[in-house]
Structure formats: C-alpha cells, structure tokens
Amino acid sequence: MKTAEIAKRYLTYFEKNGHTIVPSAPLVSDDPALMFVIAGMVPFIPYLSGDVPAPYKRAADNQKCIRTNDIEEVGKTPRHGTFFQMLGNWSFGDYFKEGAIRYAWELLTSPEADGGLGFDPKDLWVTVYEEDDEAHDLWREIAGLPEERIQRLGKDTNYWSTGLPGPAGPCSEIFFDRGPAYGIDGGPATDDDRYVEIWNLVFMQYEITNVRSKYDFEIVGELPARNVDTGMGLERIAFLKQGVENMYETDQVRPVLDRAVELSGKTYGANHDDDVRFRVVADHVRSSLMLLSDGVTPSNEGRGYILRRLMRRVIRAMRLLGVEGPTFAELFAASRDAMKEAYPIVEIDYPRISQYALAEEATFLRTLAAGSENLDASIAAAKGAGRERIDGAEAFLLHDTYGFPIDLTMEIAEEAGLRVDRDAFDTLMQEQRARAKADARSRKRQLADTSVYRDLRAQGETVFTGYTDLETASTVLGILHHGVPVTRASAGQIVEVILAETALYAESGGQVADKGVIVGPGYELEVIDVQRPVPGLVSHTVEVTSGEVGVDQPATSVVDAVNRRAAQQAHSATHLVHAALRDTLGKSATQTGSLNRAGYLRFDFSWGQALSDATKSEIEEIANVAVRDNLEVTTRVLSLDEAKAAGAMALFGEKYGETVRMVDIGGPWSRELCGGIHVASSAEIGLINVIGESSVGASNRRVEALVGQDAFRELATERAIVAQLTSSLKTPKDQLAARIAQLSANLKAAEKKIAQFEAKALEGRVPALAAAATASGPFRVVTESVGTAASGDDVRTLALQVRERVGADAVIALGAEVSGRPVVIVATGEAARGAGAKAGVLAKAAAAALGGGGGGRDDVAQGGGTDAAALPAALRAVATALETASA
C-alpha cells in the first residue's frame, strides 16, 4: 500500500465519521517559540489550550513535520526521520477516550477491502498511563485485547505535556509487533525495536503549572474542554504495510536512496556504515525538498541554518560514499518525483527549489575545498612537530568556521596516519550547544505562554476597521502589565491594551505596525507597537502618557495619518517592485521576504546573481511607469481556491485561512494575497527610488528603495552633490563620470610612481644594511628599522636582497611602518637555518612585542601588530631569540 494511499484512507475514514479535513499547515511554525511544526498538534495548540475557540468540533489532517533533535539517529534506526507526516484526528470538547479508542481500533483492524488498514489484531499491543483505569478498561471492552497486551507505564512515556505551563493529560499508545526476528518478547515495555509505536492517543484534560521538568509538575485543574489529540506516523505505517525494513525503504524515500547507490557505485546492504549514509542521504534530501517547497532558504541562522545543515550532511555522506562531485541535480529530482503525487507543489515549484539546492551545493563544495586546505596545513604542522593527532580546537575551528564536518576531518586525518582529539572537539561542541539551548530556553520562556490571552480571545475576534477608517470608537476589553491582567494603568506605565475594535494595523505581512494614540475619557495612550499574540486577537503595547485607563472604559484608536499614508505608499510600491522584477527576470524571481515602513521598502527575492545596473534601472522604470499610469488598486475577499485560480501569488511559508484578501494593482499585472494597507491608486505612491541591491544568502537577493517624499529627498540630496561636483571640477554634469574616472586614473598612476620611487629608495639601502651586519655566534645579523614603506612586499624584497649580499650565515630582521601598522620581516640563510635560526620562530618573537601575530617558513617569515612604537623592542626580541637558538 503506497504512502499516499494510506493517507487517503485515513482522511476518508475520518471524514465519513464527521471530521472536518484540515489541510496541512506549512512546515514553518506560527508559534514564536518554535522554528518548525515539530508535531502534528502544533497548528492546533490555540484550540487545544482554549486560547482560541476551535472552528470545528472534530477534525482530521495529514500534517507535515520537521524534527531535528534526533538527527544523529537518522539512518541508524528504522523509524527516525527529520521530515515526517503525522496523521491526526482531533476532538475539541466533543468525543473523548471511548471515541478515540473506538475510531483507532476500527481503522487499524478493518480489512483493506473495506477501506481499513488491515492490521491483524494479534499483532497489536497498547500502553496506557499507569493510573488510567478508564483507558485500560476501554481497550478491554472495545478491542477485546487480552490483559497481557495492555501495559501500564509511567509519566515518562504515557503522560503528555509540552514541558511548559498549559495543557496536559494521559495518553495511550498503539504498537505493532514485528515478530521475534526483531528482538525479545515482552511488549513495548522492553523498549525494543521489535515493537513499533504507530499511534498515540492523547487525552488532554488537565492544565498544569509549576513545571520543573516534562514529568514533574502540578495539575491545577481541568481544561475548559476535554480534547483528544492523536498522532499516527504515516512513514511508520508505510514501512509496515509495504513490508520493508524501515521508513527509508518506503515508496516516498527509497528512490533517492537508489539514486545515491547508483551514483556511488556501491551496494546497499553490503556495509553497515555505508547503509547508514545512504539512509541519511534519502531522508535529508526529502526533508530539504519539503523545507524549500515551504519557502525556507539556506542561511547561517534560524530555519535556514537547519536546512543548510541537512543539505551539508547529504554532501558529507555522499563524499564518504566516494562521490566528491555535485549530486543534488539527480538526488533532488528523484525526491521530487517520489513526493509530487502527495505534494504537487514540489513539481510546480521545482525550478525555484532546484535553484536554491544547486547553489547551496556549489557553495559548500567550495567550502569543503577551502576547509581541506586548512586541514592539510594542520596535518602538515602536526607531522612536522612529531604529533600523532590533530588538536580538538583545530577540528572545531574547521567545523565552526568552514562548516567542515568532523567525520570528514577524522577520515582525512586517519588517511594521513593521524588521530583527532575527539574528546576535546566534543567538549567544545557541548559548550556551544549548551549556550544555544540556554538561549532557546530563554526565548521560549519569554514567548511561549499565550494562555493569558485566552479569556480575552474567548470574547471574539478583534475587529480591524483600518482598511476604511483612521479612527474607531471601541471599549477596553483587557489590560496586561508584564503579562499579568490588571484592571487599571496610570501615567508612565507601559502596558498591553486589548480593544474590541481597532483602526490600528498590527504588524504582519512585512508591514510594520501603525503609529498613533488611543484616547478615552481623561486619558491618552501613545501606541508603541501593535501585534497579534494569538490568531484573531490584536494587542496594543502603549505608554500611558496622561490620566488613567481602566477595563470596560470607552476607547478610540486614532491612526497617525501621515505615517499611515507613507506606509501605504511603501507597501503598494513593494507590490509594484515585485511585479517589475518578475517582468524583467521571469517568474522564478519570487518573494522570500519584505519589510515596509513609512517611506522605505526592502524586498527579498530568489535569484542567484547580482543584478546589472541596466537591469536595476529597468526594474525601477517599470515600477515608476506603473505609478505614472495611475493603476487602480482593488481588494477582494474570496476563497483561497478562487484566489489561486485567479492567478494570485501566495507567499511561501505564509499560512492562509479558507478566505483570503486579494490585492490587484492594474488588474492581473500585480495580483497577490495580502492583508496589508494600500493606496487607492498607484499614482498616490509618488515616486520609487531604488537605492540598493545586494546578496542576502545563496540564491537570495535584496532590493531596497525609498518611496514617496523620502524618495524625492534622496534625489534632491544627490542633485545637490552633483551640483557641488560640477562647480568644484568645473565640468558639465553629463561629463562628470568621465572627469572623475580620469582623476581617479591619474591618482592611481601617481600612487604607483610614488611606490616605485619608495621601492627604489629602499633598494638603494641594501649596501649600507649589508655592511651593518654584526657577528653573533654562528650568525651574521642585521636588525634595523627602515622607516616607512608602501607595502610589506617591499620590505620582504629588501630583506631578501640584504640576505643575498650578507651570505649563507645571514639572519636579517627589518622593521617598517606600513599604512600606520608595524611589520617585521625575517630572512635567514641556509647555513643560519642549519645552525638553528628559523625565520618563523623569530618572526613570532617580534610579533609578540608588537602585540600581534606572526610566522611563516624557516627561510622567510613575517610578524605584525598594532603598536608601531614597539618596533625597536620587536627587533631586540629577534636578537634575544637568536641568542637562545644558538645556545
């Protein structure tokens, strides 16, 4: 049974049983404490916690998930994957334990011919929380399971919570017994791979607080409604129903594994370590494909870093399999073909997806080349010093700076006959992870608890009137001070205020929040920020500037009209720039992010190379022609399917409801889904002035522009600069570029001549410097400061010429000031080196006196620092070190 067929049977079954089928949310989580949807319940958290009323009593879904906390286990067990699909059925205050157990058992054990999954009841075991007699008895009654196949387990396995204050409850898990060939008898309590967990039924009925750990907390009472949250792992069901050994061999994953086998020329099943690598490749390519399809792009932080790590682990695994060249073109195509039946977007959007994937691969292959050079140097240094291993700090530097995988470092070192100090490396990694986890916990504590908004949200959605009104009379529903509900706030306090209606725009879709005030009888509040802490609720962060505000008082939200108009201009201008980019570059130039504030826009888009000046000018002109043509801006609210059918662009990673707001500028020329504020016609934008274009990561570019009055002021400033230049240079403005280029060329030529004169002057000092050589043991030594020099290369040339004249026993140390910084060049003759004078060692001694670093080869080396006044001391340090070398 194919994976897509299993999902179809699941959703069909629950739809027949009165469940609303909910589309999968994007992998990118709305929860600020989470980067990704890590479990099927994440999109339903506001409903499960009661913060937001559920729009349905019962639902079912197939939710895409990404989880990387067990990334090191991928490929080693039959069930660990970074991307997985979680089938779930949900009850919000409707059925509870009996219904959940009955539905699960019926679907699992009904014959395939009747639409079920066809599991043999004798192969199924269940676990229940040790104190949950009700669930135990229901399994006996509904499923007829014998006592020995119902196991009672403790909180560590059969009590669900997030590890934070909020909802919790006992759970019951269903396991499939793979048979004695896979492990010992004894049921799920043996924690053996023989028993595969396939379904978890969470009976969410309590609210917990004082959470000391995931399993140590206090129950403070029942939730407002008892809920059911279930999750059945689609990949686990698939590998059991398809009769294969693990999830990596199922129909949605195996094609990538097979292609990796073909590219490597190795055999799957012949070597354990290679098999793990093949499975890592198959899993991570699919995960990367799905993350890219949901708008995540590779970067060095956040979600983009997770994606980058997955992709680089693929490259590392393929390299360890013997493939050093690019492979993503074939591996990602194989994953696309395996996933497109379930997720058609991966085929539709594949040109963009593959652009990012191939660019990331090319970048990391270059990184590996750079890291290899540094690793080769470390290996040479270790061997030269007679060491048998590479220091853990060096390996960590390769990993942290170059992204060079430790496994690859160890493999290359082993080929060279060396070991890596893995313990030291692991210690540094643990310290880094501890810092990251502490930071994550801090953010989670600050952002995760939204239960304080539950009662406010229960009163209904905040009505936003700002599309048509700049002032709206309303009522204060609630006030929060430091996250705690209060009844009043007085002058000087900063609090959150919740209104029943508001004209103030909450930050979203790249548009920053409105500025403005909230006024009422005897008080005024300055609006600092406007956000949506939970879906449907708008919170205003305000400073009470006068009077005292209280709950249930009248309140009028007043938008700063000047700021709003400028923000509208910027947001509409962003749509025009987007359309102009697609006109110029093609449909693959899609938006990946934006920021709109009064007078300014920033627009990120997928593109693999810098834009030429001509292209930037063309984009700017197309956008301004649209402004000139005074295109009508219209908005319509319609269903998501209707909007997509009309050609509206949806942004990757954005979550849309069943109804959406579609914004047209000039009809279909610019048609996007957008909840932001816009002008009524394009002429109101005034002017768009593109001021910059830059890279923001592999295959990602950024355009910045000023809009309206800000754009005019920038052009006026540039006009004043041009006028000043034409006056100073006595050159017409149309000839300024050529005149400045000529002056620049003349300046470079003059600097070159000066450098030549300085080099010749230095060269003229060779005889005198050579004559100044003094005997010191077996050496003839010159330690002199030569003043200033144009470059370190000039000083190096001088030192080599003096060494040649002095002879084989020469030790030359010349100091100079180059661009305000001290430099010492040390050159040694062959006989001097034989007697112990190593230039690299001497240069390091000089650099220490200069407050910097240095080193190099035995025959010539360089040291430098920051304190030019210390050059005499640096040269004395060379002489002292030389005396030690000859002792």
**DSSP H/E element including 6:** helix 3-16
**Angle at alpha carbon of residue 174, lines to 170 and 180, rounded to 5°:** 135
d(CA 685, CA 680): 10
- CB 829, CB 799: distance < 8 Å: no
Residue 373 DSSP class: H
Q: Which residues contact 386 (CB under 8 A, 6 or more apart)?
A: none
**Angle at alpha carbon of residue 227, lines to 226 and 231, rounded to 5°:** 155
- As a dihedral over the C-alpha atoms of residue 309, residue 310, residue 312, residue 318, rounded to 10 degrees, the angle is 150
d(CA 794, CA 787): 12
Q: Which residues contact 659 (CB under 8 A, 6 or more apart)?
A: 637, 638, 639, 640
d(CA 38, CA 27): 8
**DSSP H/E element including 291:** helix 272-293
The reply, when asked if residue 678 is annotated as ligand binding, is yes
d(CA 834, CA 434): 49
Instruction: Find tokens 């009925």 and name the residue.
Output: 205
Q: Strand, helix or coil at 812?
A: strand
R_g over Cα of the chain: 34
**DSSP H/E element including 440:** helix 422-447
The reply, when asked if residue 284 is annotated as ligand binding, is no
Report CA-CA distances (Å) from 601 to 381, 385, 458, 608, 710: 51, 56, 36, 21, 11
Least Cα distance to 27 among 73, 87, 70, 83 occurs for 83
Least Cα distance to 830 among 803, 806, 808 occurs for 808
Residue 536 DSSP class: T
DSSP letter string, 787-798: EEES-HHHHHHH
Instruction: Find tokens 């997030």 and name the residue.
Output: 162
Instruction: Find tokens 């030549």 and name the residue.
Output: 756
Residue 491 is which amino acid? A
- CB 260, CB 321: distance < 8 Å: yes
- CB 390, CB 419: distance < 8 Å: yes
The reply, when asked if residue 575 is annotated as ligand binding, is yes
d(CA 220, CA 166): 10
**How many angstroms separate the most distant Cα atoms in the chain?**
106
- CB 172, CB 152: distance < 8 Å: no
Q: Residue length, the chain?
A: 887
Give me the phi and psi of 259, to 5 degrees please.
-70, -35
> By 3-state DSSP, what share of the chain in percent is helix, strand and coil, each rounded to 5?
45, 30, 25
Q: Is 537 exposed, middle or buried (0-12, 13-18, 19+ CB in 10 A)?
A: buried
d(CA 717, CA 722): 9
Q: Is 626 exposed, middle or buried (0-12, 13-18, 19+ CB in 10 A)?
A: buried
- CB 712, CB 686: distance < 8 Å: yes
Q: Which residues of 653-675 are buried (b: 16+ CB within 10 A; e: fewer)?
A: bbebeeebbbbbbbeebbbbbbb
Relative to beta strand 124-129, strand 150-153 is parallel
**Beta-bridge mates of residue 228:** 91, 203
Q: Is 884 exposed, middle or buried (0-12, 13-18, 19+ CB in 10 A)?
A: exposed
- Return binding residues: 571, 575, 674, 678
- Return binding residues for Zn(2+): 571, 575, 674, 678
